[in-house]
Amino acid sequence: MRTPLVIPILILLSLCACGKRAVDFLAESRALLKRDAEWAQLASAGKDVDRIVSYWADDAVVIEPQQPIYRGKAAIRSYVANSLQTPGFHIHWISEHPVFSPDGNLAWLPGKTELTMPGPEGKPLTLHLRGISIWRRDHDGLWRCVVDIANESPPI
């Protein structure tokens, strides 16, 4: 007579188990750092605007020193394209120590950036920046940057 109760309980338990996925934070950390490093390498090469921009989510926001806030891929694409066309422009960053949300779908990465551009009188100026990028696992399963913010590092 207890058999009819066992089936609904098993169904309920299996439904509860399906709602959450176990997150391997070490594997996710490696994957996210690898993706970020690939992105940094593409940006440093400065040749493929569309591939560089593909690492940002459609609703991303970029906040850089002495720049307006860029919202959305169209604005970010224009900013990246203009930057890469600037003579003497070069960017490279290194991110580390990802911190994940409990569900593993958001993460933030602190990083350091070296940005070279024409300064006063056209001489190259290199800025040392520190920043935070916030990443989200998008609907297609790829990590994409949703917030990219940097400011100048204080003098040592």
Q: Which helix (H) or strand (E) holds 113?
A: strand 106-118
Q: How confident is the model at residue 33 (pLDDT cuts 50, 70, 90)?
A: very high
Asked if 73 and 60 touch (Cβ cutoff 8 Å), the reply is yes
Pick the CATH number of 23-152 from 3.40.50.2300, 1.10.10.970, 3.10.450.50, 3.40.50.300: 3.10.450.50
Amino acid at 139: H
Looking at residues 82-109, what average pLDDT do you find? 96
The whole-number average pLDDT for the span 125-153 is: 96
Question: If 0-12 CB within 10 Å is exposed, 13-18 middle and 19+ buried, where does residue 131 land?
Answer: buried
| pLDDT tens-digit readout, 117-128 | 998 888 999 999
Q: CA 150 to CA 98: how far, in whole Å?
A: 16
Closest to 64 measured CA to CA, from 151, 3, 153: 151
